[in-house]
């Protein structure tokens, strides 16, 4: 493969870099690291001098603009720990001792913001405290204890609370609701907690996590409190809610959003009703069941469900029975065109998100508190959703369909 053609600016810049490396006698990575340390030190010193200029109101030797009885008083030396190693800098002083530098504070011995940012990033990716300690020790030569990691990550909690209470949009086209479960210590015991998650797609086709809440084992009652919370945060209407088959879920939604259409996840229904099917029957049974949920319309779907029952009821009577009992919530998607069907017939959008959360949290078998669980999930969520950019490719078609079906409920 031929080398790409460089621009004249790139060629000139590379020539300057080579000239600088020759002038400074740089021949290996160790020399480059030394140069970076000097560069970082120079930036810090220049920044501190500028801060003192602002504090005193005049620059060095500019006595004509001096309007204070305070003045410079030399420098004190300080060694800073950075990602490039230790850097020695000179910190300017004032005669009255009133100067409080912000770039490098008086008691600061490392670029802690840099370190804390790295710790938060590693924590967000599910690294254990031992792994974080090893990385920070290697980079900075500092030890990081469990309490240090906890103290740094605890700074996230007020941000999480604010995020949980932020105002939301008035109308969401689709909201996916699901829960995942974790073990948490509570009053000396290890209990199973549910993390309730809501992901919404707004009327612009943008996907966002509306909230994550740690509560007791999944229940319709807790979901009701979450839905009331969404309404209190400004969500006036949800066009379609996609949920699993939790008993009472539809009643909870209807209590808060009575006009919302409910689509029960087809994949959940398939899993729940085929768990005990014999291995030798599963392939044929699934092929027949697919004729039900992949039908072109609801009428055909019901016909195929009757045919399925006639064939399989003798051996597996509860499958067709369950599909008929839940049909009103399973069949919602039949009224829509293929683009909308694909969007709502399953909760895959939220299950994919849950899988990514589990990857991050797999190193933690038990969380010490609800807050420790929530802050890890929040940091992981921020990391995951960085990739959620732009709207769905087919949103134009979906939006035009929703405008027809929900014309009286969409804002002008």
Q: Return d(Cα 354, Cα 214) in angstroms, integer.
A: 14
Q: Which residue has the higher pLDDT, 162 or 35?
A: 162
Strand 261-264 versus strand 237-243 pairing type: parallel
Q: Tell me if 141 sits within 8 A of 81, measured CB to CB.
A: yes
The pLDDT tens digits of the residues spanning 130-153 come to 777 777 766 556 666 777 777 777
Residues 234, 240, 242, 243, CA torsion sign: positive
Over residues 30-56, mean pLDDT: 77
Within a 10 A sphere around the Cβ of 93, how many other Cβ atoms? 15
Q: Return d(Cα 360, Cα 208) in angstroms, integer.
A: 19
3-class SS of residue 164: helix
Q: Return d(Cα 256, Cα 12) in angstroms, integer.
A: 65
Between the CA of residue 35 and those of 31, 46, 103, 115, 284, what are the distances in Å?
Answer: 6, 16, 21, 21, 69
Look at residue 114 in the predicted model and tell me its pLDDT: 63
Q: What share of the chain is helix, strand, coil (3-state, %, to 5)?
A: 50, 20, 30
Residue 80 Cα to chain centre, angstroms: 33
Range of lowest pLDDT (93-102, 377-386, 396-405): 93-102
Task: Find residue 211's DSSP bridge partners.
Answer: 198
Look at residue 139 in the predicted model and tell me its pLDDT: 59
Report whether pLDDT(334) > 70: yes
The helix or strand, by DSSP H or E, that contains position 262, with its residue range, turns out to be strand 261-264
The pLDDT tens digits of the residues spanning 347-383 come to 888 989 999 999 888 888 888 889 889 988 998 999 8
Q: At 223, is the pLDDT very low, low, confident or very high (cuts 50, 70, 90)?
A: very high
Q: What mean pLDDT is reported for the chain?
A: 86
The pLDDT tens digits of the residues spanning 307-328 come to 999 999 999 999 999 999 999 9
Q: Return d(Cα 343, Cα 394) in angstroms, integer.
A: 10
Look at residue 404 in the predicted model and tell me its pLDDT: 93
Look at residue 338 in the predicted model and tell me its pLDDT: 92
Within a 10 A sphere around the Cβ of 124, how many other Cβ atoms? 21
Task: Find residue 319's DSSP bridge partners.
Answer: none
pTM of this structure: 0.70
Helices (H), 297-347: 298-312, 317-325, 327-330, 338-344
Q: At 231, is the pLDDT very low, low, confident or very high (cuts 50, 70, 90)?
A: very high
Q: What is the CA radius of gyration of the chain?
A: 30
Q: Tell me if 308 sits within 8 A of 322, measured CB to CB.
A: no
Report whether pLDDT(34) > 90: no
Q: Which residue has the higher pLDDT, 399 or 154?
A: 399
Over residues 401-406, mean pLDDT: 93
**Residue count of the chain:** 412
Task: Write down the residue that tokens 């969520």 correspond to.
Answer: 381
Report whether pLDDT(249) > 70: yes
Report whether pLDDT(219) > 90: no
* Residue closest to 208 by CA, chosen among 68, 392, 11: 392
């Amino acid at each position: 493969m031929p080398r790409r053609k460089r621009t004249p600016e790139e060629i000139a810049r590379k020539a300057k870099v080579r000239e600088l490396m020759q002038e400074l006698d740089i021949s290996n990575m160790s020399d480059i690291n030394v140069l970076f340390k000097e560069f970082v030190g120079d930036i810090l010193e220049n920044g501190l001098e500028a801060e003192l200029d602002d504090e005193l109101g005049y620059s060095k030797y500019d006595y004509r603009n001096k309007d204070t009885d305070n003045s410079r008083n030399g420098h004190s030396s300080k060694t800073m720990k950075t990602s490039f190693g230790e850097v020695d800098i000179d910190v300017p002083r004032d005669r009255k001792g009133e100067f409080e530098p912000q770039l490098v504070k008086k008691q600061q011995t490392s670029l802690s913001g840099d370190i804390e940012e790295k710790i938060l990033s590693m924590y967000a990716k599910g690294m254990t405290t031992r792994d974080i300690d090893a990385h920070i020790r290697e980079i900075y030569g500092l030890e990081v204890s469990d309490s240090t990691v906890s103290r740094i990550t605890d700074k996230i909690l007020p941000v999480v609370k604010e995020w949980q209470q932020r105002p939301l949009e008035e109308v969401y086209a689709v909201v996916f609701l699901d829960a995942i479960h974790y073990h948490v210590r509570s009053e000396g015991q290890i209990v199973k907690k549910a993390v309730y998650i809501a992901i919404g797609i707004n009327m612009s086709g943008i996907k966002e996590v509306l909230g994550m809440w740690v509560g007791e084992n999944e229940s319709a009652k807790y979901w009701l409190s979450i839905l009331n919370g969404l309404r209190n945060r400004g969500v006036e209407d949800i066009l379609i809610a996609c949920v699993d088959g939790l008993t009472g879920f539809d009643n909870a939604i209807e209590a808060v959003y009575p006009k919302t259409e409910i689509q029960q996840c087809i994949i959940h229904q398939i899993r729940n009703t085929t768990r005990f099917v014999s291995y030798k029957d599963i392939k044929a049974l699934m092929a027949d069941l697919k004729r039900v949920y992949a039908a072109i319309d609801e009428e055909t779907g019901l016909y195929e469900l009757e045919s399925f029952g006639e064939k399989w009821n003798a051996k597996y009577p509860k499958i067709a029975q369950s599909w008929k009992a839940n049909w009103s919530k399973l069949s919602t998607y039949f009224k829509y065109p293929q683009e909308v069907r694909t969007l709502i017939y399953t909760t895959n959008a939220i299950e994919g998100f849950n899988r990514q959360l589990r990857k991050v949290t797999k190193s933690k078998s038990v969380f010490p508190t609800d807050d420790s669980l929530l802050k890890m999930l929040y940091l992981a969520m921020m990391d995951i959703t960085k990739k959620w950019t732009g709207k769905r490719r087919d949103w134009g078609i979906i939006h035009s369909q929703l405008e027809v079906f929900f014309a009286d409920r969409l804002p002008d």
